[in-house]
Amino acid sequence: MSNAAQKQAELISPDAYPQMMGRQDAVRAMQSLRSRETMVKAAAAMEAAMPAMKIAILQYVGELEEAGSDMRRIFDKVHEIRGFAETAGLVTTGRIAEILCRYMDDMERLGKDLDTHLVALHVSAIARAARAEDDDVRLGEVVAAELAELVARKLASTTR
């Protein structure tokens, strides 16, 4: 904003805004939001949205695989996958995407080059997990733990 525009701007204190609802209405709204009925409706809405979310995740996975060695595209797609895979019922996919995101973020923060083989291994694991018929969370946790350990070793050797 230019200096002239700043001089013309009028600051309005937060207290000067009208209340959107009164105290009693706010209490009723909070009670409604915390009610069992609202929780059941929200769960039903999430359940109904899961097939569409899974389709979107699979599309991101396809784009992730197509990214090849373009680390910027991989970074963008894996962050999208991490963002809502678990909500879509793809817990293992989300967990592995989270590990890759952290690795990529840490390496960027350290100013180090990414290990393309390690990234490719994660991309492959994300794709397999997303396309699995059933999300075997227990087995997925084993795979995720192994990948996390591999990343930890890689980061430890990078910072020495």
Q: Is pLDDT larger for residue 5 or for residue 67?
A: 67
Helix (H) or strand (E) holding 41, with range, is helix 36-66
- Poorest-confidence range of 2-11, 14-23, 68-77, 130-139? 2-11
Give the model's pLDDT for residue 6: 55
Model pTM score: 0.71
Q: Is the pLDDT confidence value at 64 over 90?
A: yes
CA distances from 90 to 30, 93, 154 (A): 31, 5, 26
How far out from the chain centre does Cα 14 lie?
A: 32
CATH number of the structural domain 50-158: 1.20.120
Dihedrals φ, ψ of 132, to 5°? -65, 140
Structure tokens, 61: 């996975």
What pLDDT score was predicted for residue 123?
96
**26 Cβ partners below 8 Å, 6+ apart?**
none
Q: Quick one: DSSP state of residue 40?
A: H
Tell me: the pLDDT tens digits for 34-62?
A: 999 999 998 899 889 999 999 999 999 99
Q: How distant is the alpha carbon of residue 157 from its chain centre? A: 27
Cβ–Cβ under 8 Å, residues 78 and 63: no
pLDDT digits (tens, 9 = 90+) for 69-79: 999 999 999 99
Tell me the average pLDDT across 79-100. Answer: 92
Helix, strand, or coil here: 46? helix
Residue 83: CB atoms within 10 Å: 15
